[in-house]
Chains A and B, each alone.
Chain A
Amino acid sequence: MSAPERPRESRPAGPPRTSIWFGFASFGAVVAAQTYAILTSPAEGDMGHLQKIMYVHVPAAWMTFLSFFVVFVFSVRFLWRRRENDDLIAASAAEVGATFNGLTLMLGMIWGRPAWGVWWVWDARLTSTLVLFLIFVGYLALRAFVDDPQQKARWSAAVGAIGAINVPIVYMSVTWWRTLHQPPSSPATLDPAYTMGLRLNAIALLLVMIYLIRKRYEIARLERAIEHMAEAAAMGQGGR
């Protein structure tokens, strides 16, 4: 009997256990990093203490990009090896990424209102973040509208990989199109007083992101386990 080349199904024994303590620790890290940043950074020239929103906004943006990268890697991996878990990880990363993306946008707008006087400007970073958010939404909508799990996995992986490829292109084209926003605040271009705060918050938010993805993945694995039990029931039951 030949082994079929379908996505290798996950077995019920083994969804990852994500410790609740890891969750507490990561959120605790965020609190600590935020406290540090707020207390140690001086008020900035134009924007005063408003500038401190950056300590969440910028790391959230970085996490958004990181999520896209994770989606890309696991989408490609799924298409290559057809292991169902890869698709579940990609989908979890997409959900978490969309959340961070939404957070980035909201904070960007909240930051912008007092700074620019309006809720929205069509500047490079905000606009490209919005477009990326729509790419995430498209990916999640596709998953919502496709029922067959094998087809859902294959289609999501293709759409996820191709969407992720577009991220740098979107970013670049929107940036060319507009140059209103501040120059990108990578630590190098900022006053050293701010960079430590940014780095700490980035690490803390990274921990939160990892926790959220793992948790979401764990739930996805449990959902699949339930479906497998239904499979076993359907196949083994009755029929002499």
Chain B
Amino acid sequence: MFNGQPDRVIQVSGLGKRFGIKWVLRGVSLEVRGGEAVGLLGPNGSGKSTLLRIIGTLLKPSVGSGSVNGLDIVREAGGVRGQVGYLAHTPGLYDDLTALENLWFAADMLGLPYTAVEASLERVGLSHVAGDRVRGFSAGMQRRLALARLILRNPPVLLLDEPYSNLDADGVALMNSTIAGIVGSGGAALVALHELAPAREMLDRTLTLSDGRIAAAHGELVGRDYAVPVLGTR
């Protein structure tokens, strides 16, 4: 910590992204500090997923820049990937593999031992279907499995895109406790949502994305009461 301020874990400045002719992000600037869980609200098509993808180094910005824990998202993308756990809206699992095989694959790619896999499955409550093919899983189970894959590594920075969709009450609690665990130990989370309800207790503040820009910021959730400057509007 410098100057008594928490480290800026996620920081983007003037981010813009276009696909073909269409500009999806038009100058977004924001900060997420260590120990914060920030919600990203906005209607469909407002650019939430694109923003998360850019921060997670899956896309390169058309203009602007950003960093995660001081690592530039374009120039030091490899390092950023090591810090970030990105949960996409689509679970991104292999349907013809079993839950175990999906996680074994992830463990191999991450360089982790297979023992971490069993623990992870246990944590998300899917041990009983470990040997079943993902094709037969419900949407909620798939999301839990994707979460299991995410926590194999315990990344300090979470980028979550609509993480609560298809989750039942237990699943929501699981997701919240996972986020709280990571944020509580100094990490940060940026969560894209289209409705606030499941995450209400969890988030420190929210930003609203509209038409590719940050349109509003609210910091009054959870009793926190500091004034948040409206960033990213020019």
The answer to whether A and B touch in the complex, with CB atoms under 8 Å apart, is yes
Q: Which A residues form the contact surface with B (CB < 8 A)?
A: 1-6, 147-150, 227, 230-231, 234-236, 239-240
State whether A235 touches B16 (Cβ < 8 A).
Answer: yes
CB B210 to nearest CB in A, in angstroms, measures 9
Query: Given known contacts A234-B18, A236-B234, is B62 in contact with A150 (CB within 8 Å)?
Result: yes
CB B211 to nearest CB in A, in angstroms, measures 8
Between A and B, how many residue pairs show CB distances below 8 Å?
A: 56
Which residues in B have their C-beta under 8 angstroms from that of A235?
Answer: 16, 23, 26-27, 63
State whether A239 touches B62 (Cβ < 8 A).
Answer: no
Q: How far is the CA of A239 from the CA of B215 in the complex (A)?
A: 8
Closest to A6 in B: B60
Seed contacts A2-B67, A6-B61, A231-B18; 18 additional CB < 8 Å A-B pairs: A2-B75, A3-B65, A4-B61, A4-B65, A4-B74, A5-B74, A147-B19, A147-B20, A149-B20, A150-B60, A231-B63, A234-B23, A234-B26, A234-B212, A235-B63, A239-B211, A239-B213, A240-B233
Instruction: Indicate with 1 or 0, residue by residue over B55-92, a CB within 8 angstroms of chain A CB atoms.
Output: 00000111111010000101100000000000000000
Sample (24) of A-B pairs whose CB atoms are under 8 Å apart: A1-B13, A2-B65, A2-B72, A4-B60, A4-B65, A5-B74, A5-B75, A6-B61, A147-B19, A148-B20, A149-B20, A150-B60, A150-B62, A227-B21, A231-B63, A234-B16, A234-B212, A235-B27, A235-B63, A239-B26, A239-B27, A239-B233, A239-B234, A240-B233
State whether A231 touches B62 (Cβ < 8 A).
Answer: yes
Within 8 A of A (CB), among B204-234: 211-213, 215, 233-234
Q: Which 7 A-B pairs have the closest CB atoms?
A: A234-B23, A147-B20, A4-B74, A2-B72, A239-B213, A5-B74, A4-B65
Number of chain B residues close to chain A: CB under 8 A: 26
Which residues in A have their C-beta under 8 angstroms from that of B62?
Answer: 6, 150, 231
CB A88 to nearest CB in B, in angstroms, measures 17
Q: Which B residues form the contact surface with A (CB < 8 A)?
A: 13-14, 16, 18-21, 23, 26-27, 60-65, 67, 72, 74-75, 211-213, 215, 233-234
Which residues in B have their C-beta under 8 angstroms from that of A239?
Answer: 26-27, 211, 213, 215, 233-234
Which residues in A have their C-beta under 8 angstroms from that of B234?
Answer: 236, 239
Q: How far is the CA of A149 from the CA of B64 in the complex (A)?
A: 17
Which residues in B have their C-beta under 8 angstroms from that of A147?
Answer: 19-20
Q: How far is the CA of A231 from the CA of B61 in the complex (A)?
A: 13
Closest to B76 in A: A2
State whether A1 touches B65 (Cβ < 8 A).
Answer: yes
Looking at A3, A4, A149, A227, the one whose CB has the most chain B CB atoms below 10 A away is A4
State whether B213 touches A230 (Cβ < 8 A).
Answer: no
